Amino acid sequence: MCRKLSERLEKGENSILSISQTGHVVRSETEIVKAALKEDPVAIELIEEAGMKLGLQLANLINIFNPQAILIGGTLAKAGDYFLSPIELAVKRYSLRRVYQGVHIKITAIENPGITGACLLALNRYLEKV
């Protein structure tokens, strides 16, 4: 994302993330998220693009695994609807309707939701055997 941001700024697009505004080259997604939350159009577009790409991949996984829920975490999730809405749009567009209808996609505040989910899954399987 930072590379794409740099390319867009070099083309002359106006953003609060430009070097003249920040005094430095943006090197983290956190700065892009903060700019999006301040209504910066370039930052919002970058986050939406990332959301669409993630949504496409999630749609493929939904079609294969048919999960009940998907929890989205990490830095970009802090952008809220700027990130979640494109994910949901892409999932609706690219997944099978019957499969997608039961899936809940939510943003979570859990740190490292993948690790937490894996631990809960392992615990659940262990308790089923006991």
The whole-number pLDDT of residue 129 equals: 87
The whole-number pLDDT of residue 18 equals: 86
CA distance to 16, 22, 42, per residue, from 84 (Å):
23, 27, 17
Q: Could you tell me the pTM of the whole model?
A: 0.85
Q: Kindly list the domain boundaries of the chain, sorted by start residue.
A: 2-129
Question: What is the second-level CATH architecture of the domain 2-129?
Answer: 2-Layer Sandwich (3.30)
Which residues in the chain show pLDDT less than 70?
Answer: 22
The whole-number pLDDT of residue 128 equals: 93
DSSP H helical ranges for 66-80:
none
The whole-number pLDDT of residue 63 equals: 95
Cα torsion 21, 1, 52, 15 to 10°: value is: 10
The whole-number pLDDT of residue 57 equals: 98
The whole-number pLDDT of residue 39 equals: 97
Start-to-end C-alpha separation, the chain:
46
The whole-number pLDDT of residue 22 equals: 67
